[in-house]
Amino acid sequence: MKLPEKLTSLKAYDPITGSYAVRLDANESYFDLPSVLKSKIADQIEQISFNRYPDPLATEVVEAFAAYYHVLPDCVTAGNGSDEIITLLLGTFMEKGQKLVTVSPDFSMYGFYAALAELEVISVPKKSNLQIDTDALIAACQQANAVVFSNPCNPTSLGLPRADVIRLIESAPDCLIIVDEAYMDFWDESVMDLVNKYENLIVLRTCSKAIGLAAARMGFAVMDKYKTSLLRAAKSPYNCDAISQKICAAVLREQTLLRHCCDEIIVQTQRLYTGINELVQRYPDLLETVYPPRTNFVFVQTAYAGEIYEQLQKAGIAVRCFPNGLRICAGTRREHTLLLTELENILQP
């Protein structure tokens, strides 16, 4: 039997597993839910009829999301993480062989799902300062059916200002512009309010980062009502389970708590940046640059990423390793102290 090459050539996503004293590798929030809120949610989960299918439209979650972000519920589709939404969009809003523009470096899953959807990927390199080259991107989008990029970007931690995103949207009206705003809670340049102004705009959000619910698997597509009705029709009917729906709706209603956590994470990320930047100043031969982050993580450019990564791992500290650098997520003060102390040990001669 011959299975398709697009399947047999896949390399499975390889997240860091095992036990680490400090986990700063997956860009999660370092806040778990307060236990009172967990108990409240546990009570609600007890009320669920487990023998029944969940609400196909995740109405409660979508309404809580819409209220928190000031968008219309009719413009929001809930998915099993934004990963599911990306798969769905590339698989149903595009046809086999069509052109998808990505930027490089960016979130690796776009290329992965594009290959499964048998799309032709056109990769536009970023500038040497790791910023998106807006003019080059606009040029590439003229011949393409869609573009997808994260803003702010995972892994670079940098953002493309709203004015540039708008210029792209307006300069390529026949190209679907998919802006993955997984980290936009930590910056303030969202274009989510424009989904009814621009027919070619789709914005993605997730509960996995600032909302602190990576365990629950909930992501969103925000776009005009017409396209929303199409995506809702294209998705599998029961894509979001009843338990996740309860959890995410309850947490998205905690607006004050969410804003507080987000502010704290931003402060902690700046502290992490400052700490790492001091090391960059002191060990310029080993660490090249750390970029001022718009996200909940920092990206340190270094030719020694692999070596440093392994040493940190031995010390029980998990970060994410890339060929040209390390991505380190904000954690608690204690975690930062452990990380910075260990980094110092590794770097000093």
Ligand X SMILES: *Cc1c(COP(=O)(O)O)cnc(C)c1O
Residue 238 CB coordination number (10 Å): 13
Please tell me the distance from the alpha carbon of residue 67 to that of residue 83, in angstroms, as a whole number: 23
Please tell me the distance from the alpha carbon of residue 215 to that of residue 275, in angstroms, as a whole number: 29
Q: Is 150 in the site for ligand X (CB under 6 A)?
A: yes
Q: Which residue has the tokens 């799309």?
A: 119
Please tell me the distance from the alpha carbon of residue 224 to that of residue 298, in angstroms, as a whole number: 33
Which of 182, 251, 287, 346 lies at the binding interface for ligand X (CB under 6 A)?
Answer: 182
Which two tokens mark 271?
């502290």
Q: Is 107 in the site for ligand X (CB under 6 A)?
A: yes
Least distance between ligand X and beta carbon 222 (Å)? 13
Q: Is 27 in the site for ligand X (CB under 6 A)?
A: yes
Q: Which is nearer to ligand X, 37 or 214 (CB)?
A: 214
Which two tokens mark 41?
């949610």
Which of 81, 212, 293, 325 lies at the binding interface for ligand X (CB under 6 A)?
Answer: 81
Q: Is 181 in the site for ligand X (CB under 6 A)?
A: no
Question: Radius of gyration of the chain from Cα atoms?
Answer: 20
State phi, psi for 288 to the nearest 5 degrees: -80, -60
Q: Which is nearer to ligand X, 164 or 342 (CB)?
A: 164
ω into 152 cis (within 30 of 0): yes
Please tell me the distance from the alpha carbon of residue 180 to that of residue 261, in angstroms, as a whole number: 21
Q: Which is nearer to ligand X, 113 or 346 (CB)?
A: 113
Residue nearest to ligand X (CB): 81
Q: Which is nearer to ligand X, 180 or 254 (CB)?
A: 180
Q: Is 295 in the site for ligand X (CB under 6 A)?
A: no
Which two tokens mark 104?
């490089």
Least distance between ligand X and beta carbon 278 (Å)? 27
Q: Which stretch binds ligand X (CB under 6 A): 203-211, 228-236, 315-323, 327-335?
A: 203-211
Which of 25, 83, 164, 254 lies at the binding interface for ligand X (CB under 6 A)?
Answer: 83
Which two tokens mark 145?
């059916």
Which of 29, 77, 82, 145 lies at the binding interface for ligand X (CB under 6 A)?
Answer: 82
**Interface with ligand X in residues 208-237 (CB under 6 A):** 208-209, 214, 219
CA-based nearest residue to 257, from 108, 64, 105:
64
Give me the residues that bind ligand X (CB under 6 A), please: 27, 81-83, 107, 150, 154, 180, 182, 206, 208-209, 214, 219
